[in-house]
Amino acid sequence: MSDIYTSVPYAGKNYMVVRNSKRHMYLHDAQRAWRSGCLDMATDLHLRAIKAPGCAFEHRMGVRYA
């Protein structure tokens, strides 16, 4: 069951997400922007990720988004 979850690094932290979820994709892009020095874009993508569905902990507790 752990195959559906993955850890995504962003700015020195790791976020547990559902693999291929919107949150996963936004965090992946945020990390790329952060490493490239595009800090405004990285911040925007990180905020989008936090608001997007795909948190591994919520998923394990049974939270599902329509």
Q: Tell whether 65 is covered by a domain.
A: no
Q: Tell whether 47 is covered by a domain.
A: yes
Q: Tell whether 66 is covered by a domain.
A: no
Q: Is pLDDT at 65 greater than 80 in this prediction?
A: no
Contact criterion met (CB below 8 Å) for 8 and 49: no
Residues of the domain holding 32? 2-60
Instruction: Let me know the angle formed at the C-alpha of 39 by 37 and 42, rounded to the nearest 5 degrees.
Output: 110
pLDDT tens string 2-32:
589 999 999 999 999 999 999 999 999 999 9
Per-residue pLDDT at 2: 55
Name the domain count of the chain.
1
pLDDT tens string 36-54:
999 999 999 999 999 999 9
